[in-house]
Amino acid sequence: MSKIVCDIIEYVFIEDFEKLDCHKMPVLKDGKYWKRINAIEKPIYQSNIKQTDAGHINEETVSVKARHNNLIQPLIDLCGFHVLLRMYTDDHTFFVGSPDYPAAIELTSDRIFDNFTFKAVSPA
């Protein structure tokens, strides 16, 4: 069954993560919060399980296009490139990346649009 991914993507830098609660939900450090990217096109989520010499791995990629925000690149430069993503579908919330296997951010911009690519690789 297909799921509809919403236009809102939220992320938190891995340094702002404290622990997972008893329901496996992320708990952030005091004063830290989820940052929002408002996509202007449907985000693209891809997941691919591959067999490697070390076993099966899950490669997840999320691509998001948003209006340019002058504050994003300095924030990434200051806080780092490793994040945990929170995404929404039509009926639930799911996460890309984890504390042990965070997603890496790649950001390109033409000063009109910001194009984000988040990549996470974890054991399958």
Query: What is the total count of domains within the chain?
Result: 1
pLDDT, tens digit, 9 for 90 and up, residues 4-18: 678 789 999 999 999
Instruction: Give the span between the Cα atoms of 38 and 116, in whole angstroms.
Output: 11
| Residues above pLDDT 70, as percent of the chain | 97
Question: Is the CA virtual torsion 4, 1, 26, 74 positive or negative?
Answer: negative
In the block, tokens 């076993």 appear at 55
Q: Is the pLDDT of residue 81 over 50?
A: yes
The model's pLDDT over 17-63, given as tens digits with 9 standing for 90+, comes to: 999 899 888 999 999 999 999 899 989 999 999 998 989 999 999 99
Alpha helices in the chain (DSSP H): 72-79
pTM over 0.75: yes
For residue 13, give the H/E element and its range.
strand 5-13
Q: What's the domain range around 63?
A: 5-123
**Residue 1 confidence class, pLDDT cut points 50, 70, 90:** very low
